[in-house]
Amino acid sequence: MVKTTLGEIPVEACYGPEHMRGDAPPLPGQFPYTRGIHPSMYRERLWTMRQFSGFATPEETNQRYRYLLSQGQSGLSVAFDLPTLMGCDPDDPAALGEVGKCGASIASLADMETLFDQIPLGEVSVSMTINSPAAVLWAMYLVAGEKQGVSWDSLNGTLQNDILKEYIAQKEYLYPPKPSVRLVTDVIEYAARHVPRYNPVSISGYHIREAGSTAVQELAFTLRDGIEYVEWTLERGLPADSFAPRLSFFFNAHNDFFEEIAKYRAARKIWAETMRGRFGAKDERSLKLRFHAQTAGCSLTWQQPYNNVVRTAIQALAAVLGGTQSLHTNSLDEAYALPSEEAVTIALRTQQIIAHESGVTSVADPLGGSYYVEALTAEMEERAVSYIRKIDEMGGMISAIERGFPQREIAEASYRYQRGIETGERVIVGVNQFEREEPESIPLLRIDREAEETQVRKVRRLREERDNERVRAALDAIRLAAESKVNTMPQILDAVRVYATVGEICSAFRDVFGGWTESSIL
C-alpha cells in the first residue's frame, strides 16, 4: 500500500535495497555534500543556537539579547517590526498601531546603536531578518560597528536580503523586482569587497513554506532564487568564487520528520552540482550549501499550546539530523504573541538538550544509508530539479514571478493542505482530533502603546537635532546613484552616518524605482 508524506510524495510501507538509486552518496565533507559539508559535523563544533527576537523599543530588545547571551545563546537574530520591514518610520501614518508589535522598531542609526549597546559586535554573530530595506539596515549595522571601534573584517553574521521570496510568498516588497534585485546584488558585491566574513544574503525557503508550499516547492523555489542572485552578481563581473562562499540559505523545519531531513540533504547535492556544473565554481567553499533552519511557525497552534513544545523539538531534531549550521526554535506561545522570557528559554533549552543529551551529535549524518532516507532524498532532488528546469524555461525567477507561477503553485498546495485538515485526512493534535473543551492558560508578553509613542518622539527629536542640510544632500546622492548603474552602498552609508532615517532613504529609492503591485494569479 502506497501512502504519501505530508508533502504528497508517495512512500512505500517498507524500503530495501531495491529502492536505492545509484551508488551510495560519498562520506560527509565530500562532494556533493549530500551527507553534510564537514567530515565530522557536530563532533567538533555545534550549530549556532540563534533565537530570532525583537520587540517594542531598541532598549527593551537590547535587554532581551543580553539575557539570551547570558543563557548560552551563541548568536543574535534580529526581528524588526512591520513598519521597519516596510521601510516606514514610526511616525508614518501607515505605521500606526504596528510600531514594536512584531519586532524591534529601528528608524535610524541611533536606534541601531541602542540595539547593540554593550554587545561586542566583533565577537557576536548577528543575523538580521530584513529584505526590502536590507541595504539600509545593514549600513546601520556596519556604522554601529564602526562606532564601537570594530573593523568590518571582524563583523560576522547574516543579512536575509532575499527579495525574490517576498514576491513569491511574504509580500513585503517596496519596488519592482528588477531594481529590488539590483539592490540585493549591490549588497553582495559590497560585502565581497569590504565585509569578507559577513553573509550578504540568506536565500530563504522559510517564508515560502510558511505560505503553504510543499517541501519540494520550498526546496526548488529557494534554490532557483539562489541561481538568480548568482547570475545577477556574475553580470557585475565578479567571479563566482569571489562571492559564492558567503551565500547562505534559510529553510523551514516542518512536521514530516524524514521528509525534512531528505530536503536538506537534497538541497546540498543540487546546489553543489549547480555551482560546479552551471557556474564553474572551483573553490570548495562555493559548492557547500550552508543553511540556517527555523522550526515551523505555521505548525504552531493556539489550541493546547504546550503541544508546541513537542512539535518544536521534533522539528529541531530533523534540522540537526539534516545537517544545519544554525538553528532557531520557536516558542510555545507564538500562536498568541511574541515569546515571553520563560517560553523563549524553553525553546533555547530544547536545542541545548538535543546538543548535549541526545547523542545525535556524535555521528555525522547518522541516517545516511537508510533505504528510506536515501530514496526520499533522491525523490526530493528529482522533483525539485524538475521545477528548476521549468523556471529556467520561463526565462528565470523574475519572469516566473511576473507570470504568477510560484505564487499559484503555493496557493494550490496551501489549499490542499488546509482541505486535508478540514476533512480530517490530516490530523493536527488538539485541533481536529484529541480536542479539549477548556483552553489552556499561558502567560503572554504584551506590547503596550507606550513603545510606539516613545519611538515616535525619538524620531521626531532626531530630525530636529541632526544636520538636515547634510541629510538632504545624502538623499539626493542616493537618487543619483539609483538612476545610474553604480553600487548604491556608499551613498546609503553616507546617509546613515548623518542620521537619515529608514523611511527617508527608502522613499529616495522609491522616487526613482517606483512601487509595485502584484497582478492577480487567478
The residue ranges of DSSP E strands in 308-361, in sequence order, are 326-328
Alpha carbon distance 189, 243 (integer Å): 7
Omega prior to 305 cis, within 30 of 0? no
Query: What sign for the dihedral angle of Cα 462, 468, 472, 474?
Result: negative
Alpha carbon distance 157, 119 (integer Å): 14
Q: Which CATH superfamily is domain 42-423 in?
A: Methylmalonyl-CoA mutase (3.20.20.240)
Query: What sign for the dihedral angle of Cα 85, 89, 90, 93?
Result: negative
CA 134 to chain centre: 12
Q: What is the pLDDT of residue 3?
A: 67
pLDDT in tens, 81-110: 999 999 999 999 999 999 999 999 999 999
Q: Helix (H) and strand (E) counts for the chain?
A: 20, 11
Domain locations along the chain: 42-423
Alpha carbon distance 373, 365 (integer Å): 11
Q: What is the pLDDT of residue 330?
A: 96
User: For residue 288, with 0-12 CB atoms within 10 Å meaning exposed, 13-18 middle and 19 or more buried, which class applies?
Assistant: buried
| DSSP per position, 225-245 | HHHHHHHHHHHTT--HHHHGG
Joined together, the cell numbers standing for residue 509 give 529609492
Q: What is the CA radius of gyration of the chain?
A: 22
Alpha carbon distance 49, 374 (integer Å): 28
Please tell me what DSSP assigns to residue 161: -
Identity at 485, one-letter amino acid code: K
Which residue is associated with the grid cell 537574530?
77
* pLDDT tens for each residue of the chain, 522 residues long: 566 666 678 999 999 999 998 888 999 999 999 999 999 999 989 999 987 888 999 999 999 999 989 988 878 989 999 999 999 999 999 999 999 999 999 999 999 999 999 999 999 999 999 999 999 999 999 999 999 999 999 999 999 999 999 999 999 999 999 999 999 999 999 999 999 999 999 999 999 999 999 999 999 999 999 999 999 999 999 999 999 999 999 999 999 999 999 999 999 999 999 999 999 999 999 999 999 999 999 999 999 999 999 999 999 999 999 999 999 999 999 999 889 989 999 999 999 999 999 999 999 999 999 999 999 999 999 999 999 999 999 999 999 999 999 999 999 999 999 999 999 999 999 999 999 988 788 888 888 889 999 999 999 999 999 999 999 999 999 999 999 999 999 999 999 999 999 999 999 999 999 999 887 765
- Phi and psi at 160, nearest 5°, equal -65, -65
Cβ atoms of 107 and 457 closer than 8 Å: no
Please tell me what DSSP assigns to residue 151: -
Q: What is the pLDDT of residue 355?
A: 98
Q: What is the pTM of this model?
A: 0.95
Alpha carbon distance 519, 480 (integer Å): 30
| DSSP per position, 394-418 | TTSHHHHHHTTHHHHHHHHHHHHHH
Residues 6+ apart with CB under 8 A from 319: 251, 253, 260, 264, 293, 295, 327
- Phi and psi at 328, nearest 5°, equal -115, 135
Q: What is the pLDDT of residue 4?
A: 67
pLDDT in tens, 133-191: 999 999 999 999 999 999 999 999 999 999 999 999 999 999 999 999 999 999 999 99
CA 466 to chain centre: 34
Omega prior to 32 cis, within 30 of 0? yes
Which residue is associated with the grid cell 560519498?
26
Joined together, the cell numbers standing for residue 415 give 489549499
| DSSP per position, 272-301 | HHHHHHTT---SHHHH---EEEEE-GGG--
Alpha carbon distance 141, 121 (integer Å): 9
Closest by CA position to 374, among listed 8, 22, 9, 2: 22
Q: How much of the chain is helix, strand and coil, in % rounded to 5?
A: 50, 10, 40
Alpha carbon distance 256, 317 (integer Å): 11
Residues 6+ apart with CB under 8 A from 468: none
Alpha carbon distance 316, 327 (integer Å): 8
- Phi and psi at 476, nearest 5°, equal -65, -40
Cβ atoms of 158 and 198 closer than 8 Å: yes
The overall longest dimension of the chain from CA atoms, in Å, is 73
Please tell me what DSSP assigns to residue 306: T
How many residues make up the chain in this entry? 522
Which residue is associated with the grid cell 539530523?
321
Provide the 3-class DSSP secondary structure of residue 170.
helix
